[in-house]
Amino acid sequence: MYLTKGNKKAAKQLCSQEELKMKNEKSNNFQFSTFNFQLDKVLSPYRPIALSPLIVILIAISIFTSAYKKPEVFVIDAERNAYFHNNIGVTYMKEHCYYGAIQEFKIAISLSPNTQATAVYLKNLGDAYMEIGYPDYAQEPYEDAISQYGLNLLYYQKLAKCYKALGLIPSKIQEYSNTENPLDKVMLGVLYIENGDLKRGAIILDNFAMTEPDLLITPAVKEYLKEIIKKINS
Instruction: Please check whether residue 21 lies inside any domain of the structure.
Output: no
pLDDT at 234: 87
Instruction: Please check whether residue 32 lies inside any domain of the structure.
Output: no
Domain boundary among 149, 171, 197: 149
What's the CATH number where 231 sits? Answer: 1.25.40
Does residue 129 sit in the same domain as residue 93? yes
Stretch 48-53: mean pLDDT: 55
| Residue 110 domain boundaries | 78-149
Does residue 132 sit in the same domain as residue 197? no
Does the pLDDT value for residue 11 go beyond 50?
no
Domain boundary among 121, 149, 177: 149
Does residue 155 sit in the same domain as residue 227? yes
State how many domains the chain has: 2
pLDDT at 60: 64
Q: What is the pLDDT of residues 77-114, one digit of tens each?
A: 889 999 999 999 999 999 999 999 999 999 999 999 99
What's the pTM value of the predicted model, to 2 decimals?
A: 0.69
As a three-state string, the secondary structure of the chain is: CCCCHHHHHHHHHHHHHHHHHHHHHHHHHHHHHHHHHHHHHHHHHHCCCCCCHHHHHHHHHHHHHHHCCCCCCCCCCHHHHHHHHHHHHHHHHHCCCHHHHHHHHHHHHHHCCCCHHHHHHHHHHHHHHHHCCCHHHHHHHHHHHHHHCCCCHHHHHHHHHHHHHHCCHHHHHHHHHCCCCHHHHHHHHHHHHHCCCHHHHHHHHHHHHHHCCCCCCHHHHHHHHHHHHHHHHC
Domain boundary among 92, 116, 149: 149
Does residue 145 sit in the same domain as residue 157? no
